[in-house]
A and B are shown apart, each in its own frame.
Chain A
């Protein structure tokens, strides 16, 4: 709509601004995910912090079609574009549970894409199709006790033995590790081949020799289950190889791009939600005779936060637009992930500060956002790894 003299004179801060990447269909999807999250998930958020969220969430979301929004219709997905997945990542923050959002993201945007991209028809039928229905739960095994950021330091070995492979090693910090039916596992098949010595496998979690060790206790993300896993002489057929033998490193680097972008989108949405909650508090809470939001320093804190969130949001949207158009924008994804994760942590920290003593109390929920958000500067590649990727992209 063209600006009129009046609208130029009086800015309308209340108007909804739809971003150019989204259509009315995306907005309708947004509404339906939001109302589902508010009605069916958020009321249990507190309880799930203690118990982890139940597997039935996967089944329910599968029924509703939310686990395959951007997945091919041939496997039961909705056949939508990448932005539908972005909408899910944003609106699921209305469940008020970082751990739940993470468990779902592992299913839809971390473990499933490599199966659909590199898997055989049988593998897609066996794992992706029921995962889209929410009947099977997926997890992804990259990190090991001695190989985190340094993915090339992975030691889990898969050794060819006739028609089979025998796998030995351990994986840690595995989200969904206790509940999953199958793991997309990164192994080393040729220790002498450097980056060309890695291979992915689809290993059923009930295979003999797969041991679910500890449930790991964490700073935040309490609603998600995080596992330490051991693989002792786990025998799988050669048909369990996912993608090409020796190309596992490249497959997983590709997977990480989608993971990072979707993580960045979750950061922006989570920060926005925390901002709004705190804005309301700043209107209600009085000190020294006025609303605390009316103090200049507090007002400026909100202005800073809003500007940071908006900058991260635009980075995520424009990078998603490139990704959706078929580009492989590794540098921009790394920048968006780095920036969005930092912004989310900064916003959560500032929201605690604005809440004062209440911010430190569990009752207000801000401390939980702060604890959950802190993972984003570590998981899916630390800030330092993002900086390294960005720096190296300039030939440095």
Chain B
């Protein structure tokens, strides 16, 4: 079968090798990492050894010299780990913490942070959300005050993926007293004096170390200002597009895996003298779910194709994020229902998949925020 555009045979080859690595090396341990509420840091170096931490980054920084389509393959295949939290921790490093350094960083910053990040030696996190500023990014209250030789940061970040393990946090802070959209800047904050993390317990994503990070008079040197002073909002917006595409791709991958496993369950499980799939309602539900999956794939691939071609597909990416995150959760919920009592038990994979998928309509901009953006792009 021809690969679906925008993918080519080269991408499918990458897909096979990434999937092989993931299913062999990661998937068998997913349950343990979930139970331990932590996946080991060494995963970063092991992925790096496969070249999987730098697919889209130039070879001069240790990357593979590929592009966003190569990265897209990995985003989709990471769902095969079967642990949303593990995929999220690796994904936060690859898809949200390091891209701003690549795009907005100085050469010196790239050498100091991007190169070791691609090698998996330094782990990154992105720090935007705060207790009082979630969807409303302009409400960020963390302050950066000018001091001799740099800045002093004070504030609190929350819901930060990799928030405990990260060596550096790409942090948004307010650099003007007025604030608002135009008063935000980014800093690369090294873990050190004044930086403390507390892990949060969640509905799902248990293997991920989502944390609250307190910044208490943290000195950040001048050279760690990332991008333009007061130009942080632009950086946030630039990164959101890829983050949301990555989430859409992850949802497509997770839906595919869940559908395959549930269809197999429905063929095997006998009730009322026949397999579950022999009951019309179950057969039709699986048909609906397959259609939903195909819709999500097509919409996501179209947005991806435009993004990779250099268009600015704000509308398409937003639609893909909105559609796929809700559809992914709905598919998981339906698969859980098809499993009946077994679906409620931890022993089967589906209750975890449903818990993990529930983050989709909240994280990376909630459904409500997606609809607000669409309202504006549709001139409403």
Across the two chains, which residue of chain A brings its CB closest to B200?
A361
- Size category of the binding interface on chain B: 35 or more
- Residues of B contacting A216 in the complex (Cβ-Cβ under 8 angstroms): 345-347
Q: How far is the CA of A272 from the CA of B129 in the complex (A)?
A: 30
- Residues of B contacting A146 in the complex (Cβ-Cβ under 8 angstroms): 270
Q: Which residue of B272, B355, B362 is within 8 Å of A371 (Cβ)?
A: B355
**Is residue B368 within 8 Å, beta carbon to beta carbon, of the partner chain?**
yes
**Is residue B359 within 8 Å, beta carbon to beta carbon, of the partner chain?**
yes
| Smallest CB separation, B2 vs chain A (Å) | 38
| Smallest CB separation, A371 vs chain B (Å) | 7
Q: 1/0 per residue B259-288: CB within 8 Å of A?
A: 000000000001110000000011000000
Instruction: Tell whether A219 pairs with B354 under 8 Å between CB atoms, given A148-B271, A360-B203.
Output: yes
Q: 1/0 per residue A225-251: CB within 8 Å of B?
A: 000000000000000000000000000
The stretch that binds A, out of B101-109, B134-142, B225-233, is B134-142
| Smallest CB separation, A161 vs chain B (Å) | 30
Q: How far is the CA of A123 from the CA of B363 in the complex (A)?
A: 55
Instruction: Tell whether A288 pairs with B363 under 8 Å between CB atoms, given A217-B346, A362-B200, A374-B336.
Output: no
The answer to whether B271 touches A149 (Cβ under 8 A) is yes
The stretch that binds B, out of A27-35, A196-204, A379-387, is A379-387
Q: Which residue of A361, A377, A383 is within 8 Å of B201 (Cβ)?
A: A361
| Smallest CB separation, B334 vs chain A (Å) | 11
The answer to whether A362 touches B201 (Cβ under 8 A) is yes
Q: How far is the CA of A20 from the CA of B136 in the complex (A)?
A: 46
Q: How far is the CA of A25 from the CA of B210 in the complex (A)?
A: 49
Q: How far is the CA of A353 from the CA of B371 in the complex (A)?
A: 14
Q: 1/0 per residue B342-380: CB within 8 Å of A?
A: 111111000100110011011100111001000000000
- Residues of B contacting A219 in the complex (Cβ-Cβ under 8 angstroms): 336, 343-346, 351, 354-355
The answer to whether B129 touches A357 (Cβ under 8 A) is yes
- Residues of A contacting B281 in the complex (Cβ-Cβ under 8 angstroms): 384, 387
| Smallest CB separation, B219 vs chain A (Å) | 29
The answer to whether B135 touches A143 (Cβ under 8 A) is no
Q: How far is the CA of A105 from the CA of B236 in the complex (A)?
A: 51
Q: How far is the CA of A146 from the CA of B200 in the complex (A)?
A: 38
Q: 1/0 per residue B85-111: CB within 8 Å of A?
A: 000000000000000000000000000
Across the two chains, which residue of chain A brings its CB closest to B35?
A217
Instruction: Tell whether A173 pairs with B341 under 8 Å between CB atoms, given A357-B134, A361-B202.
Output: yes
Q: How far is the CA of A152 from the CA of B270 in the complex (A)?
A: 12
| Smallest CB separation, A51 vs chain B (Å) | 16
Instruction: Tell whether A287 pairs with B351 under 8 Å between CB atoms, given A153-B271, A378-B341.
Output: no
The answer to whether B341 touches A362 (Cβ under 8 A) is no
Instruction: Tell whether A217 pairs with B202 under 8 Å between CB atoms, given A153-B271, A353-B362, A384-B281.
Output: no
Q: How far is the CA of A374 from the CA of B344 in the complex (A)?
A: 8
Instruction: Tell whether A150 pairs with B271 under 8 Å between CB atoms, given A216-B347, A287-B134, A362-B203.
Output: yes
| Smallest CB separation, B331 vs chain A (Å) | 14
The answer to whether B358 touches A378 (Cβ under 8 A) is no
| Smallest CB separation, A278 vs chain B (Å) | 14
**Is residue A367 within 8 Å, beta carbon to beta carbon, of the partner chain?**
yes
**Is residue A363 within 8 Å, beta carbon to beta carbon, of the partner chain?**
yes
- Residues of A contacting B132 in the complex (Cβ-Cβ under 8 angstroms): 286
Q: Which residue of A287, A352, A377, A384 is within 8 Å of B139 (Cβ)?
A: A287
**Is residue A356 within 8 Å, beta carbon to beta carbon, of the partner chain?**
yes
**Is residue B182 within 8 Å, beta carbon to beta carbon, of the partner chain?**
no
A288, A359, A379, A384 interface centre (most CB from chain B within 10 Å): A384
**Is residue A277 within 8 Å, beta carbon to beta carbon, of the partner chain?**
no
| Smallest CB separation, A348 vs chain B (Å) | 11
| Smallest CB separation, B360 vs chain A (Å) | 10
The answer to whether A353 touches B135 (Cβ under 8 A) is no
The answer to whether B203 touches A370 (Cβ under 8 A) is yes
The answer to whether B363 touches A217 (Cβ under 8 A) is no
The answer to whether B129 touches A353 (Cβ under 8 A) is no
- Residues of A contacting B371 in the complex (Cβ-Cβ under 8 angstroms): 297
Q: How far is the CA of A143 from the CA of B158 in the complex (A)?
A: 43
**Is residue A44 within 8 Å, beta carbon to beta carbon, of the partner chain?**
no
**Is residue B242 within 8 Å, beta carbon to beta carbon, of the partner chain?**
no
**Is residue B250 within 8 Å, beta carbon to beta carbon, of the partner chain?**
no
Across the two chains, which residue of chain A brings its CB closest to B139?
A287
The answer to whether B135 touches A287 (Cβ under 8 A) is yes
Q: Which residue of A152, A218, A360 is within 8 Å of B202 (Cβ)?
A: A360
The answer to whether B203 touches A367 (Cβ under 8 A) is yes
Q: How far is the CA of A288 from the CA of B135 in the complex (A)?
A: 9
The answer to whether B362 touches A360 (Cβ under 8 A) is yes
Q: How far is the CA of A229 from the CA of B2 in the complex (A)?
A: 51
The answer to whether A356 touches B134 (Cβ under 8 A) is yes
- Residues of A contacting B367 in the complex (Cβ-Cβ under 8 angstroms): 353
| Smallest CB separation, A264 vs chain B (Å) | 18
Q: How far is the CA of A356 from the CA of B158 in the complex (A)?
A: 13
Additional 9 contacts, C-beta under 8 A, given A153-B272, A287-B134, A374-B344: A150-B271, A219-B351, A219-B354, A220-B344, A287-B135, A359-B362, A362-B203, A377-B337, A379-B344
> A-side interface residues toward B, CB under 8 Å?
143, 146, 148-150, 152-153, 172-173, 216-220, 286-288, 297-298, 349, 352-353, 356-357, 359-363, 367, 370-371, 374-375, 377-379, 382-384, 387
Q: What are 23 A-B residue pairs whose CB atoms fall within 8 Å in the complex?
A: A143-B341, A146-B270, A148-B271, A148-B342, A150-B272, A216-B347, A219-B336, A286-B132, A288-B139, A352-B203, A352-B362, A353-B366, A353-B368, A356-B134, A356-B366, A360-B202, A361-B159, A361-B203, A362-B201, A362-B203, A363-B201, A378-B343, A383-B337
> Which 7 pairs, one residue from A and one from B, show the smallest C-beta to C-beta distance?
A217-B346, A362-B201, A367-B203, A219-B351, A287-B136, A150-B271, A357-B159
